[in-house]
């Protein structure tokens, strides 16, 4: 029995020793394997060509071609990349402040290229052999239709920003009413704005404002309304009767006139006998021909002004001014309110001139703008067969504003139903 006990004990010791050895081995194995892995990692990175990453923001007037050419990427390579975007997005029309990044191999091959067009869409091109595979990455967002009402306290800006909206929304509203309300002058404390508009969110974050669907400016004695409407191919804002909101400057300050000198950055001045910018348009007409205000405004100057001769300056809405120069007679005084089409002066040849004409100038924030470019953006009247549609849209939006304001709800368009939520 003793003998058997000894054998049993020895075999137990042996088995334990074996296991200990095994354990050490296993540890060893794991450790070795790690080393192998590390070594192989190092060796593969050594084999991999080193990629260089470039990131940037597109500068003013810069092209994608120039960005790659500056990094010594070959013409054919750049053209191949641009070509691979052909049916996805036009890489030849990139704009200032868009962002990009790309990886180049030491041989100046493009490995990967990302381009962020705007806050909602970006593109990725990856090298696939000798070609590029381009993917559009849409950023998912939620569109909310929100109703808000603002009471004017000291300014439109403060009233809106104090309700957790941004200056972008303020500008959008000011643009819509730019011909009807001068937000620097006409707003009075206690006026109200009711607005129905789209907001795009990514998660909880506001990404951008969409369209303003309707807006009403409620002053003491008058309500200005604007409704966004797709009028066939064109789209824009219309008042409650369906008239386009964008009222333009009259094309001419005269009933009839012949352009004798156009707007230009440089022209030969017939009196000064040297090259000078011409900041307006000259219309030749006989002395005494009536001159009309091209837009509503307040007379901010009426009198003599050296080279301009007898001059009238009108302050129109939202930063616009119009100049009527070289007049024979001035018919309105400083401070007078004038209406579009009202006679304000008569053609003369006062100041620096060679013959009778009116020099007509438009300034925006005191910078001369070409009057002929002011004529282009006219909203078309609503077409007859769309009138009924417009009235329905107008009614439903007005009703939606009231109901959303009352219930303090917003409308989540991607869910096609109203859900409860905080305003904004
Ligand atoms: Zn002129």
> Which residue carries 């009778």 as its tokens?
356
Q: Is 274 exposed, middle or buried (0-12, 13-18, 19+ CB in 10 A)?
A: exposed
163, 127: one domain:
no
CA of 359 to the centre of ligand 1 (A): 4
In a domain, residue 6? The reply is no
Give the DSSP per-residue string, 214-247.
EEEEE-SS-EEEEEEEEETTEEEEE-TTS-BS-P
Strand 357-364, strand 367-369: pairing: antiparallel
Q: Give the end of a domain, one of 101, 119, 138.
A: 138
Task: Give the domain range for residue 173.
Answer: 142-248+392-419
For 149-194, the pLDDT digits (tens) are 999 887 788 888 888 898 889 888 887 886 677 666 677 889 999 9
* Stronger pLDDT, 2 or 37, i.e. the higher one: 2
How far is residue 44's CA from residue 38's CA, in Å, rounded to a whole number?
A: 10
In a domain, residue 175? The reply is yes
Which helix H or strand E contains 340, and what residues bound it? none
263, 371: one domain:
yes
How far is residue 38's CA from residue 76's CA, in Å, rounded to a whole number?
A: 39
How far is residue 154's CA from residue 173's CA, in Å, rounded to a whole number?
A: 17
Token pair, residue 98, equals 């868009």
pLDDT at 1 over 90: no
335, 266: one domain:
yes
CA of 326 to the centre of ligand 1 (A): 9
CA of 279 to the centre of ligand 1 (A): 7
Cβ pair 160, 171 in contact under 8 A = no
97, 197: one domain:
no
CA of 122 to the centre of ligand 1 (A): 48
Nearby residues for ligand 1 (ion, Cβ within 5 Å): 282, 359
For 312-325, the pLDDT digits (tens) are 999 987 788 999 99
CA of 255 to the centre of ligand 1 (A): 18
Q: Give the end of a domain, one of 84, 104, 138.
A: 138
56: confidence class by pLDDT, cuts 50, 70, 90: very high
CA of 374 to the centre of ligand 1 (A): 17
Buried (b) or exposed (e) across 360-399, using 16+ Cβ within 10 A?
Answer: bbbbeeeebbebeebeeeebeebeeeeeeebeebbeebbe
Nearest to 56 by CA among 104, 94, 108, 100: 100
276, 210: one domain:
no
In a domain, residue 12? The reply is no
User: Number of structural domains, the chain?
Assistant: 3
CATH of the domain at 200: 3.10.450.350
Nearest to 251 by CA among 178, 360, 379, 339: 360
pLDDT at 18 over 80: no
How far is residue 143's CA from residue 181's CA, in Å, rounded to a whole number?
A: 29
CA of 285 to the centre of ligand 1 (A): 13
CA atoms within 13 A on the CB side of 84: 21
Question: Residue 6 has what pLDDT?
Answer: 61
In a domain, residue 366? The reply is yes
CA atoms within 13 A on the CB side of 11: 6
218, 306: one domain:
no
> Which residue carries 């002058």 as its tokens?
185
For 202-227, the pLDDT digits (tens) are 888 888 899 999 999 998 888 999 99
193, 206: one domain:
yes
For 268-316, the pLDDT digits (tens) are 666 666 666 788 999 999 999 999 998 889 999 999 998 999 999 999 8
In a domain, residue 36? The reply is no
79, 185: one domain:
no
97, 131: one domain:
yes
In a domain, residue 5? The reply is no
pTM (2 d.p.): 0.52
């Amino acid at each position: 029995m003793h003998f058997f006990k000894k054998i049993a004990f020895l075999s137990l010791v042996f088995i334990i020793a074996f296991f200990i050895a095994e354990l050490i081995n296993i540890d060893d194995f794991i450790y070795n394997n790690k080393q192998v892995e590390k070594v192989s990692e190092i060796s593969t990175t050594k084999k991999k060509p080193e990629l260089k990453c470039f990131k940037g923001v597109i500068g003013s007037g810069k092209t994608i071609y120039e960005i790659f050419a500056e990094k010594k990427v070959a013409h054919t390579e750049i053209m191949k990349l641009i070509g691979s975007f052909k049916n996805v997005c036009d890489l030849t029309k990139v704009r200032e402040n868009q962002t990009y990044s790309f990886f180049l191999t030491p041989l100046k091959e493009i490995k990967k290229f990302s381009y962020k067009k705007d806050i909602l869409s970006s593109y990725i091109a990856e090298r696939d052999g000798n070609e590029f595979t381009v993917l559009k990455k849409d950023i998912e967002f939620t569109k909310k239709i929100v109703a808000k009402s603002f009471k004017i306290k000291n300014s439109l800006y403060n009233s809106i920003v104090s309700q957790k909206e941004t200056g972008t929304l303020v500008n959008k509203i000011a643009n819509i009413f730019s011909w009807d309300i001068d937000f620097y002058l006409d707003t009075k404390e206690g006026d109200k704005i009711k607005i129905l508009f789209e907001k795009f969110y990514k998660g909880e974050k506001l990404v951008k404002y969409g369209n303003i669907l309707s807006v009403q400016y409620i002053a003491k004695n008058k309500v200005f309304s604007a409704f966004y409407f797709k009028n066939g191919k064109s789209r824009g804002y219309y008042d409650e009767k369906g008239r386009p909101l964008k009222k333009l400057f009259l094309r001419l300050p005269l009933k009839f006139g012949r352009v004798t000198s156009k707007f230009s950055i440089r022209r030969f001045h017939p009196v000064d006998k040297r090259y000078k910018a011409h900041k307006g348009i000259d219309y030749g007409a006989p002395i005494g021909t009536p001159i009309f205000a091209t837009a509503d405004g307040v007379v901010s100057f009426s009198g003599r002004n050296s080279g301009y001769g007898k001059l009238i300056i009108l302050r129109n809405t939202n930063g616009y001014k119009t100049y009527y120069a070289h007049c024979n007679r001035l018919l309105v005084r400083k401070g007078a309110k004038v209406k579009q089409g009202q006679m304000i002066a008569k053609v003369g040849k006062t100041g620096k001139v060679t013959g009778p004409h009116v020099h007509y100038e438009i300034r925006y924030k005191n910078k001369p703008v070409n009057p002929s470019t002011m004529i282009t953006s006219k909203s078309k009247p609503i077409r007859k067969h769309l009138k009924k549609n417009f009235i329905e849209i107008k009614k439903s939006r007005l009703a939606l504003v009231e109901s959303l304001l009352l219930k303090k709800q917003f409308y989540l368009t991607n869910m096609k139903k109203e859900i409860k939520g905080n305003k904004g």
